[in-house]
Amino acid sequence: MSKSPLRIIFMGTPDFAVPSLEALINGPDQINGVVTQPDRPKGRSRKLSAPPVKELAERHHLEVLQPDKIKTKQFTHTLQNFKPDIIVVAAYGRILPPQILSLPRHGCINVHGSLLPRHRGAAPIQWSIIKGDPRVGVTIIQMDEGMDTGHILNQASITPETDETAGTLYPKLAELGSQALMETLDQLRTQSLTVTTQDNDLATAAPMFAKNDGLIDWNKPAQQLDCLIRGLDPWPTAFCKIKGKKLQLYSPEVIHQDSSQKPGILLRADRTGLLVSTSHSCLLIREVKPEGKKRMDAADFLNGYPLEVGSLLSGKDS
């Protein structure tokens, strides 16, 4: 492998991919093209909005491709014309077909937001928090036709904060991923890559969530619900229902006290938050978002929506 600059095609779409593209722009290699998802309608106005990767690429006058389909002969031929040495993928949002995976001489590598083989799939950062992983991080893999099953080229990890959410962890891992990516490309140039096969027996799945997947189950232990609420913040968010109305839940804290009440019962409602019984210990909810309102402290919520102690916060099976 040559120490000369690599000809790179970058494929990525959201904010997570931006630090990796920035690192490549500032690095020694040559970015021949950037592939990202088409512009999408956004916000209440449904105005077309460009992906963050496109905005960055255009600021640096890089050629941008936004194909509706990537499995066509025409798109494959377009990529071939760039003569890439390697394709770098970071949260592109589509599964690459075999003809693209085999196109560059060094193949395709992916910046994945978990410590593989844990959390293979589209939502690794959320699942890392939901499962209470003591270490979280990123993996650079050589892509194959499986879902995040390729050989591990590099990994980097950090310890999450006790109140870490998917929203706070996302930019940390995006930055960590960019650093691991550049280390990997340096090793590729100097022929010092170490390749590790994933242990499939240790693999777990990290599927994407639907909007209503966050309905809380108070029959689970408080510690598990604490991880769930933080893992689903900011999207799709955990929620319960009060008098048929959706109440989104944020900023949880496990309170190590047991209750004789059945799970889901409001034990206390004051300026500290909403204290709710679970199957083991109790959970204090310090922030909420009522239907049609902004996120707010539980104390502010109670000023407008007084709740009776002993009332049920409806969830799954309640």
Locate tokens 């232990």: which residue?
A: 221
- Provide the β-strand partners of residue 139: 112, 155
With a cut of 70, which residues of the chain have pLDDT below it? 1-2, 318
Would strands 136-142 and 152-158 be described as parallel, antiparallel, or unpaired? antiparallel
Edge-to-edge strands of the sheet including 86-90?
64-65, 30-35, 7-12, 86-90, 108-112, 136-142, 152-158
Q: What angle do CA 14, 100, 90 make, to 5 degrees?
A: 20
**pLDDT on residue 318:** 61
State how far the Cα of 9 lies from the Cα of 11, in Å rounded to an integer. Answer: 7
Tokens for 317?
């099976």
State how far the Cα of 284 lies from the Cα of 298, in Å rounded to an integer. Answer: 10
The CB density around residue 41, as the number of other CB atoms within 10 Å, is 9
Q: Is the peptide bond before 236 cis (omega within 30 degrees of 0)?
A: yes
**pLDDT on residue 42:** 86
Hey, what domains does the chain have and what are their CATH numbers?
7-202 (3.40.50.170), 222-304 (3.10.25.10)
pTM, entire model: 0.95
CA quadruple 25, 188, 51, 161: dihedral positive or negative? Answer: negative
**pLDDT on residue 1:** 43
Helices (H), the chain: 18-25, 52-59, 73-81, 98-101, 124-130, 166-189, 222-231, 298-304
Terminal alpha carbon distance of the chain: 61
Smallest CA-to-CA distance from 67 within 92, 91, 35 is with: 35
Q: Is 63 helix (H, G, I), strand (E, B) or coil?
A: coil
What is the tens place of the pLDDT at every residue in 278-287?
999 999 999 9
State how far the Cα of 145 lies from the Cα of 133, in Å rounded to an integer. Answer: 27
CA quadruple 28, 171, 211, 56: dihedral positive or negative? Answer: negative
**pLDDT on residue 289:** 98
Q: Is 166 helix (H, G, I), strand (E, B) or coil?
A: helix
CA distances from 281 to 90, 129, 162, 274 (A): 40, 20, 17, 14
Locate tokens 């991919």: which residue?
A: 17
DSSP E strand stretches across the chain: 7-12, 30-35, 40-42, 47-49, 64-65, 86-90, 108-112, 136-142, 152-158, 238-242, 245-255, 266-270, 273-277, 282-290, 296-297
